[in-house]
Amino acid sequence: MSSVRHTVLLPCALAFLAGCAPSTKAVMESNQSAVALRSFQQRAFDTADKEKTLRTVIATLQDLSFVVDKADLDLGTVSATKLSGYQLRITVTVRPRGATQLLVRANAQYMDKAVEDPKPYQDFFTSLEKSMFLTAHQVD
Amino acid sequence: MRETRIAAALVASCMLNVVGCATIPKDALVLSPDSIERRQLQTRRIDGIGEKELLSASAGVLQDLGFNIDESETKLGVIVASKDRSAISGGQVFGAILLALMGSYSEIDKTQKIRVSLVTHPAISSNGEILPNSHFLRITIQRVVRNTADQITRIESIEEPEIYQEFFEKLSKSVFLEVQQI
């Protein structure tokens, strides 16, 4: 019976202790590399109209039941929060990419965790494509 | 026998810990079929006034309703406002009193923070031209409710049609006042 105790209690103790890193570590931490994150958090669109694109991003976020928190045309950013029984915060930035394209990047936080899974971002860009009537191109 | 049962319970709780909180809901960022219906509920078209004046009239309505403006970006037609109010509801208080009479205690909703974002954009004609002095205005409202133990009890979007109708009634009065420069 003591072997059961060892094989079960030790991993359990380790699992609990894994949460013991100092919480300030979260300030600069990210579970994925910047390159990996950018690969699925951004898309390029064939337009150079930054204002129209930002307005379309805002309209899409409202369609997705977000409430816009902040918007800045010069900086090219929009932040919004969705409260539908959970809290989902998102920031979308728009900046020029060459002379004919704009780069749109989104990063989201679900409750107290960063969203670092490609699928929600794919969903967001699919929704944005519908509002923009333009294709979202993958960017290397 | 008892030891293996305790071990099984420990393993189960460890797995819950390792997996962590639930992940983002599957359709959180997918346009749903009812998003069009919601858009119609939350949007009106306002003619005969420029965008800046319309935003100014909207800020006036928000102030009339007791909101404080948190953020604004007139170049994108965005105003964000919020207010903190009591969330005490008669029904909950009644229920809590009943429970107290039976000897148990229950928390009730106490305060709520209501947030609104108001967004305007120019209306476009069927052949893609921007119509002068014609805009769509959309408001989206959400709230966070805390109870007497300061825990969050509700985080939700507000979807009641009457609230939006009332807002737009007040807005059309305010737009009239704005156009008349009062």
Does the model's pTM come out above 0.90?
no
Which residues in chain A are closer than 8 Å to B121, comparing Cβ atoms?
Answer: 55, 58-59
- CB burial class (10 A; 0-12, 13-18, 19+) of residue B42? buried
- pLDDT tops 70 at residue A3: no
Mean pLDDT is lowest, of A80-84, B2-6, B40-44, for B2-6
Minimal-distance CA residue of chain B relative to A112: B21
Residue B7 banded pLDDT, cuts 50, 70, 90: low
Sort out which chain B residues have CB atoms less than 8 A from A64's CB and list them: 28-31, 35
Spatial CA neighbour of B176 closest among B49, B77, B51, B45:
B49
What burial class does residue B164 get, using C-beta atoms within 10 Å of its C-beta: 0-12 exposed, 13-18 middle, 19+ buried? buried
> Does residue B112 carry a pLDDT above 60?
yes
As a whole number of angstroms, the distance between CA A123 and CA A56 comes to 16
What is the average pLDDT across A30-36? 82
Q: Do B25 and A86 touch (CB under 8 A)?
A: yes
Is the CB of B20 less than 8 angstroms away from the CB of A54?
Answer: no
Answer whether A64 sits within 8 Å of B29, measured CB to CB: yes
- Residue B16's pLDDT is 46
Q: How far is A98 from chain B (nearest CA, A)?
A: 23
Q: Which residue of B has its CA nearest to A117?
A: B24
What the block records as the tokens of A2 is: 């003591």
Report which of B22, B14, B143, B17 is spatially closest to residue A113, judged by C-alpha positions: B22
Q: Which of B34, B64, B68 is nearest to B161 (CA)?
A: B34
Contact B142 A67 (CB under 8 A): yes
In chain B, the residue whose alpha carbon lies closest to the alpha carbon of A120 is B29
Residue B21 confidence (pLDDT) above 70 = no
d(CA B40, CA B131): 20
ipTM above 0.90, yes or no: no
Q: Do B62 and B116 meet the contact criterion of CB atoms below 8 Å apart?
A: yes
Residue B17 banded pLDDT, cuts 50, 70, 90: very low
- The answer to whether A13 and A5 have CB atoms below 8 angstroms apart is no
